[in-house]
Amino acid sequence: MQHTVCRRWLTLTAAVLAIPATAAAAAAQRTDRGAPAPALAAEIDRRAAQVMPKVVAWRRDIHQHPELGNRETRTAKLVADHLRALGIEVRTGVAHTGVVGVLRGGRPGPVVALRADMDALPVTEEVDLPFKSKVRTTYNGQEVGVMHACGHDMHTAMLMGAAEVLAGMRQQLPGTVKFIFQPAEEGPPAGEQGGASLMIKGGALDNPKPGAIFGLHVGVLPKEAGQISYRPMGAMAAADVLRIVVRGRQTHGALPWLGVDPIVVASQIVMGLQTVVSRQSDLTTSPAVVTIGSIHGGVRTNIVPDSVVMLGTIRTFDLAMRDSIHAHVRRTSEMIAASAGAKAEVTFDNLAPVTYNDPVLTERMLPTLKRVAGDANVALGKQTTGAEDFGYFQEKVPGLYVFLGVVPKGGDLTKVAPNHSPRFFADESAMPVGVRTLAQLAVDYLSTPTPTAQVGAR
């Protein structure tokens, strides 16, 4: 897939490309439409510091009242009320509970989007916090606790803070900032649609369409609070659900030769699939994972069942590898089944595309990350086989998604409870960096257009 970035507006603002005539002019180089960039940065920092007590309060409130995907009504109302109070145009009910805000700056310019996700997980919190979640609900027929075990409470609160920062300086903004508060990043409930793809269908990227989108995730890679890691191109994996139905022929367990045993065939397929990554994929290109996580078949000892259902997940970082792994999984499963006289029906369901950070945009925004977090606190991160549906936005517009460390300073990075753990703990001291990162990425994107038109193939 290829993105071509439209820079039509660039030609309209020739002033931005003018080279300052003197060193003094260079030192005071202005953004194309007004305030000097350093002045905007200082103002962001000043306003971010002011808004932090509110961000902490929102985060604790959201943490204490977590809501599962497509059920984020309370959180969405908190967000929408806040954006309206700031004078931001607000659309609610996008992809069920999503909120989209549009802040039009006082000066003409491009459009940039910032995204946060709002949903929690069916996890029972074990962290002893004064604002610990005690919420319980029914999920897939089971009674479960609900917890912001992935840190989306922080994402929402930090973007609310960034919205307040930017709304406070709207007259100086050279362009438009779009705020996308997304439901169901962790996946919608069974039988429902939701998340980034449904927000896009609901017009989250239209009217106006952003030229770039930014987002961040807390945790994921164990880093100290306030440290940022980034990775151009495939940063998080594409996740596909794999479903294999093996159809045999039912018979008496004492007379297996009168039927076709799908349990033995399923077992062979599980082992055969181990060779898809280890023997059939070019691992010098990128890593990949194929996992079978569930096998169901049979009801008692002496009946060979008719069929077995297997579920699994596939993680890849580029489209060619993904296509090739799908083909190999299908062929391996079908041929093993055929060798036994059974049939394997293989289907794939895309949960999330690759979180693909546009390399040109990443390079362009790297100085911003370094200025916000400090040079020593910004590092190239590893690829992670976790997945994130931010990639759907990145299929439509160039995007950059970075990770913000939330391990308390001096903490043992090897013993950190990861995201989705009931003991996941996120240090709030990282949040000022998060608020400043979001606001600063938006302002720098709007203020310093560069003539990059072509984005590489994915």
Residue 350 in contact with residue 229, Cβ under 8 Å?
no
Within 10 angstroms of residue 323's Cβ, the number of other Cβ atoms is: 11
Q: Which residues bind Zn ion (CB under 5 A)?
A: 150
Paired tokens of 166: 């930017």
Q: Which is nearer to Zn ion, 150 or 184 (CB)?
A: 150
- Give the nearer residue to Zn ion in terms of CB position, either 182 or 281: 182
Tokens 């296509």 correspond to 323
86/147 with CB nearer Zn ion: 147
d(C-alpha 270, C-alpha 292), whole Å:
7
Q: Which is nearer to Zn ion, 108 or 418 (CB)?
A: 418
Active site residue 119: yes
For 216-230, b where at least 16 C-beta lie within 10 A, e where not — what string? bbbbbbbbbbbbbbb
Minimum separation from the CB atom of position 352 to Zn ion (A)? 11
Q: In the bound complex, what is the minimum distance in angstroms from residue 210's beta carbon to Zn ion? A: 21
Burial class (CB in 10 A: 0-12, 13-18, 19+), 342: buried
With tokens 């929402």, the residue in question is 156
Closest approach of Cβ 426 to Zn ion, in Å? 11
Minimum separation from the CB atom of position 357 to Zn ion (A): 16
Of 153, 185, 261, 428, the active-site residue reads 185
Tokens of 443: 């302002």
Q: Could you give the CA distance from residue 208 to residue 339 in angstroms, rounded to a whole number?
A: 56
Tell me if 383 sits within 8 A of 230, measured CB to CB. Answer: no
* Token reading at 60: 């604790």
Q: Which is nearer to Zn ion, 150 or 228 (CB)?
A: 150
389 in active site: no
In whole angstroms, how close is the CB of 117 to Zn ion at the nearest point? 6
Enter the DSSP assignment of 447: H
Three-state DSSP class for residue 375: helix
Q: How far apart are CA 131 and CA 441, in angstroms?
A: 31
Q: Please tell me the distance from the alpha carbon of residue 315 to that of residue 240, in angstroms, as a whole number.
A: 7
**CB 383 within 8 Å of CB 256:** no
Which one of 32, 67, 119, 389 is the catalytic residue? 119
CB-nearer residue toward Zn ion: 277 or 387: 387
How far is it, in rounded angstroms, from Cα 421 to Cα 423? 5
Shortest distance, position 217 Cβ to Zn ion, whole Å: 6
- Residues with active-site annotation: 119, 185
